[in-house]
A = this chain, B = another copy of it.
Amino acid sequence: MPIKKVNLSEKLSLFADHWSPKIVGELNGQMVKLAKLKGEFVMHHHEQEDELFLVISGVLYIEMEDQTLELHPGEFVIIPKGTPHRPDAPEEVSVMLFEPATTLNTGDADSDLKVEKLQKI
Contact = CB atoms under 8 A, between A and B. Distances in A.
Interface size of A as a range: 35 or more
Number of copies: 2
A81 B100 CA distance: 18
B71 A5 contact: yes
Interface string A59-97: 000001011011110111111100100000000000000
B78 A27 contact: yes
B3 A69 contact: yes
A76 B6 contact: yes
A75 B4 contact: no
Given A27-B50, A52-B25, A52-B27, A4 B77 contact: yes
Contact of A99 (B9, B28, B75, B99): B28
